[in-house]
Structures are given as C-alpha cells and as structure tokens.
Amino acid sequence: MMKLLPHSLRGALTAATLGTFVVPSFAAPDVTVSHAWARSTVPGQPVAAAYFDLRSERGASLTELRSDAAASVQLHEMQRDGDIMRMRELPRLVLPPGQTVHLAPGGTHPMLMQLKRPLRAGETLHLELSLQDASGRREKVRVNVPITDKPPQEGTR
C-alpha cells in the first residue's frame, strides 16, 4: 500500500500542456517521494492534508502542487507558538541536498483547498509536484497518495 509510483513528466507533452518549457533530462529522477498517505475525509470536511517524505540528492525546491481532487493545493507550514497552532502558506519548500524532508501531521504539509470530492479510504489521491533544481531546471513529479483511515504513525504510537 505504501509503494509509490513517482515519475517525471517531461518533454513535449508537459511543455505543451502547461505552457512552460521543460528541459529534457536523461539522468535518473533526482527527487524521490516516499511514505505518502492522506487521511480519509469525513462528511462536511471541505479540506484535507497529504503527507510524504521528499528527498533530493542534488538539492531542489518544491514550488507548486496541484491535484484534480481540489480547487488548489497550498503548502502550509505549522508555526507552533507554545500550544497555539498557526498555519501559514509557504511560497516554496527548500529540499537541501541529500536530506529527507518529512511532510507530516503537525508540521509542513500540502493542504488541499475546496475539495471537489471526499477522500475515501482505499482510493488514491493524485498529486502533481512542481520542482526546481539548483540550476533552475523544472521538473514535475506525479505522486499517487494512498488514502487511509488508519494512518501509519498512529498505529505505532
């Protein structure tokens, strides 16, 4: 269930559909996504979060997220002030070279705004991540996020 199928969308098709020029790259994808999951939503819940680990060997930034399940996807940072939770939109998330960045409950996470349909356990949420490497090269990574009502962390806590 936790197996991921990240892959890059490159070349003419991406460039044509998104109107941006994407430099073809023949190197192995630099950014890997793992341990993705999203909590299933309940009736009346208009928003959702997704969680995963990101790692870039050469260093990159996550600049944008999209999903066909939501009107928009914002990257939110949780700023804790004692017991007060403050959510703030992050314009981009820096992935330092060789470090795994965890997007986890209670921390930085993508927030799916104005859900178009509920997230149901057992189904898959599709996310598209826009990344930019140190040389400015852009890459898109699609992530299949398993939706669960039994989050991995909570089972072991």
Partner 1 sequence: MNRRSLVALPLAALLTACQRAPEARAASPFTSTDITGVDWGRDFHLTDHHGRPRSLADFRGQAVMMFFGYTHCADFCPTALALMARVRTVLGIDGPRMQGLFVTVDPKRDTPQVLSQYVPAFDPSFLGLYGSEQATAAAASDFKIFFAAQKPDAQGQYTVDHSGVMYAFDPHGRLRLVMRPSESVEAMAADIRVLLKEIS
Task: Please report, as ranges, the residues that interact with partner 1 according to CB under 8 A.
Answer: 39, 41-49, 71-72, 76, 78, 83-87, 89, 105-106, 109, 111-114, 151, 154, 157
Min. distance of Cβ 144 from partner 1 in angstroms? 19
- Nearer to partner 1 among residue 96 and residue 105 (C-beta): 105
Which residue, among 62, 51, 140, 147, has the nearest Cα to 96 in the 3D structure? 62
- Nearer to partner 1 among residue 8 and residue 41 (C-beta): 41
Min. distance of Cβ 28 from partner 1 in angstroms? 32
- Nearer to partner 1 among residue 7 and residue 117 (C-beta): 117
| Torsional sign, CA 16, 17, 19, 22 | negative
Query: H or E segment at 17?
Result: helix 12-18
Between the alpha carbon of residue 66 and those of residues 8, 81, 127, the distances in Å are 14, 29, 6
